[in-house]
Amino acid sequence: MRWLMVLGLIVTGAVSCRPVEKRASPSISEIQSAVSVSPPLHSIALPSNVATISNTKIASFGKAKKHLWEIHKDHQTTLYCGCAYEGNELVSPPGACGYVPITTGIRSRRVEWEHVVPAQAFGQSFREWREGHPECVDGRGKPFRGRPCARKVAVAFRYMEADMYNLQPAIGDVNDRRGTATPAMIPGENRLFGTCDFEVSAGKFEPRPEVRGDIARTYLYMDMAYPGRGILSEKNKKLFEAWSDQDPVDAWECERARRIARIQGNINQVVERACRQAHR
């Protein structure tokens, strides 16, 4: 019965979230204090659209981003540096959240939706990405491949690209510098953006401790929801399981998952399980 309670919390909206930054080690009592269960278990009705393991409802990256601006409207904090934003612009003064721009371009202050698991990481499992497709020909008759071709022809890719559980707000320049780097532990503290705890080296990047669990659970979810796409190696899986234990879910992560489930139509079973364990 306990798992039904948490499932109901995520889907029906019983988890509440305050628009504050996530702390490194939220206690179980703190998470529990943000949760209230008012309806009895037998009265909790699950939406009929919440049934599938993966995203099979939203096939547009653009549409997903529009939903996410609304989902995050009361929790406007970037993933990697923890900076405040409004709309798609940073409002934290330079250095206030640790982030110091290294360029003067528009992306240094713009907030974008970052694929936690890069599109390239799963995109290359699609033949259309690797080799192209007869339908992938531009107006001058020149064939193309990669992300544009996969997006045009492969419906499964579009669902993966638009999966909102895999999308988080990030500063454009940080998003750009991360690129397709894989999460890892990197020796030293060679921070690129002021004191923002974000390092990149040799195709790897190390996020701040406060969001390592969020990132780990995203990779674990994507690997579970879309098997056979080469998202996780056994080595990385062990690292992400450790990160998930070290940085447990907080009230916002559970609330965000609930909001996404009601729109996207599938439950993030990795986060749901973590929320259930946290509420014991």
pLDDT tens across the length of the chain (280 residues) = 444 344 444 444 444 433 434 444 444 344 344 433 333 322 223 344 455 799 999 999 999 999 999 999 999 999 999 999 999 999 988 778 999 999 999 999 999 999 999 999 999 999 999 999 999 999 999 999 999 999 999 999 999 999 999 999 999 999 999 999 999 999 988 999 999 999 999 999 999 999 999 999 999 999 999 999 999 999 899 999 999 999 999 999 999 999 999 999 999 999 999 999 987 7
Distance of alpha carbon 251 from alpha carbon 272, whole angstroms: 12
Distance of alpha carbon 36 from alpha carbon 153, whole angstroms: 45
Say how far residue 246 (Cα) sits from the centre of its chain.
Answer: 18
Looking at residue 181, the DSSP 8-state letter turns out to be P
Q: Which two tokens mark 260?
A: 């996404």
Q: Which two tokens mark 56?
A: 């099979």
Distance of alpha carbon 52 from alpha carbon 59, whole angstroms: 15
In the three-class reduction of DSSP (H, G, I as helix; E, B as strand; rest coil), residue 258 is classed as helix
Distances 49 to 53, 58, 63 between C-alpha atoms, Å: 11, 12, 18
- Global pTM value: 0.83
Q: Which phi and psi angles does 110 have, rounded to 5°?
A: -95, 140
